Chain A
Amino acid sequence: MPTGSIKVNRWKTSIEGAGDGVWEWNIQSGKVIHSWQWRAMLGYEKNEIADTLCAWNSLVHPEDLEDRAANLERLVGNKSEVYVSDSRLRCKDGSYKWVLNRGVIADYTEDGMPLRVVGTFADIDQVKTVDEQLKSRERQLQEILSFSPEGVLVFSLTNQLTFYNQRLLSLFGIELEPDEILTTIDFMEKIGAKLDLSDASGLFKGFAGEEEGTLRLIKPVKIIKWEVHQLDDPVLRHILFFRDVTRETEVDRMKSEFLATAAHELRTPLSSIFGFVELLLARDFSDKDRREFLGIIHDQTSGLIRMLGELLDLARIEARIGRDFNFQQQELWPLVRRVVADFKIPGDARKVTLKLGRRKPYVSMDEDKFGQALLNVLSNAHKYSPGKGAVCIDSVTRKETSRNWIGVRVRDSGMGMTAEQLGRIFERFYRADTTGQIPGTGLGMSLVKEILQIHGGEVEIKSELGKGTEVTLWLPETQGSRHE
């Protein structure tokens, strides 16, 4: 076919002029002919590589063999009339080079099977290297951002989701297919069902370029702060950061609530003190009135002093988290007996009934602190059961797989609490009594709880309105407990 040969030759010339090479493969004979660029590209001398497919294959990087074989298979099996394969070939110096091979069937046998394939090869090593570097950079970026505590989201100029990290998905509790193409609106729909709707419109504005805002997630309940930045990039438009601020928000709320309550609790006694002193200075009162007013001033002042002390105790315990507790292994009952013996309320002649049983439990405790906790509970039992039966202390035990617990149970038959009051008992400044009849700061049980927690113990409370309250201070027992 003279005309055909001339065409092929011209084609060869033009391709080789561009720096690429050509090859021809006879499928039946297995013979392969390359133009000279082939060897030059890989650094081989003439005759160093045989003109066979086998010789070719021996140069292919083991990882690329399978792919290449599959491509050849399609060609030989007449499933495809073109052949495209990029693979790494071994150079003479042992290094590998990326080569792109493209071929097309040039002749068929009489029964229609492929006979001869012609094609080109090109050195794409540089392209591949840059490509690999880019991919590796992207992997690194993904890896780095996967450790970010913030969810990251990037949108392109065409409002398509172009990047996100794993944290974003976990933050919103959503899943995305790895290659899913999403627009801003698709993404909003994904998270929309989980949002408080009044916030969602804010986020839409965010995509329109607003700088920051807050989202409330309904399920699971979370508060998420977001901020958006414009990117100076020809393809990417926005980057958004999402941060879970649920805890900070809660802590902030508790702090300001605490401040407001503390201010209220300080202002009330100060009103009496300030007011009565001003009246006493401005007017003459009868002896009886004057005594009464001074009595109120004194009571309120002692209340303030007590509150200040308890606030400082609480702050100290919280700040030091038990580091200034002096723990000693010791028998529990001597301390309980001592606290009970020292306990008195002016004008209350009731005795505490003590039933501690025959066991002698040992615990690890700070005597002063645990004593203070017990004293608080004991004085509550008296204050909230005015004139109603004795306060009783006994012991209870509980077994868990790994350890025994000993409980000091304080019971009164006083006014008790509703479930709602019981639920708030550990709140700072919370008082079950709002009439002002029973003195107290509302800090005592907060202190008890903190002290028991640092002992590794627990506070258990049962109460029934009008019937009485039962408080158990549980401590883990240590070695040494014994029967008498």
Chain B
Amino acid sequence: MSEHLLSTRGLGRDAAVALLDIAEDMADTQQRQVKKLPTLRGTTVVNLFFEDSTRTRISFEAAAKRLSADVITFSAKGSSVSKGESLQDTAQTLQAMGADGIVIRHQASGAAEVLASSGWTRAGIVNAGDGTHEHPTQALLDAFTIRKRLHGAASRGRDLDGVAVVIVGDVLHSRVARSNVWLLTALGAAVRLVGPPTLLPGAVGGWPVTAGIDLDEAIDAGPDVVMMLRVQRERMTEAFFPSAREYAALYGLSSARAARLPERSLVMHPGPMNRGLEIAGEVADSPRSTVLEQVENGIAVRMAVLYDVLAGRRGAA
């Protein structure tokens, strides 16, 4: 159905629902006696990670292995070659080695797109996070998790029409937030971004969302989902907020704030969490938290994405 998965921007409602439905079927296979599927036998998937990410890499690796693909992990971090050349050389090397699919994480926004359109490789490209641009599989697993919590076994075929989602924190540096904005709104959800003015991107006005700086106001509106973003210390080269303590006080999801949410409200976090900073440990471990479900669902969603991009005839979609 798709040649590549580079972003959630432009992914339509029906295509997104179809992908989530395949993920449902993949999740079901993981309840079987034999969890391994023969589907991608003979297919080679390269995990090309220019940036550290143990969780995402392991999740993709597990997904590819459950589908019987051969997995090669290429950790390109620390390469001294300048970025553009390095990406080209690496891609051409992987093409020569016979990679059918490349899962790429890169610190530069647009790296996955470059790889897909460069002609350096014919492999199917899956974006596992590029700079501050997108992280589409994270958004898909978030949408999957919300849908599953709301509709359970009756999730197939449904979108997220009317679901109120608040995304809180460092939106400026967050590819997770960007991918979620496009995907969740395509699925019919109403998205509100909340964060300190210094961490909300200037372009928010052009996105199909509302934005604000007051977390308490957003909590008291009784959202269905509160998605906390990780404070990305490693991406911050200047002071975006005065202190961690002030950030936690204004934008952290404390137990007191969580207690004001309606019973049905979910709390999500893409991990890894800074407990006590953007989310209180007690909230992260509470029944409304989906943190571990997100990790579990991530494998099924990535199986669906790898299947979608790699199982069919290349060049036929």
Q: Do A and B truly interact?
A: no
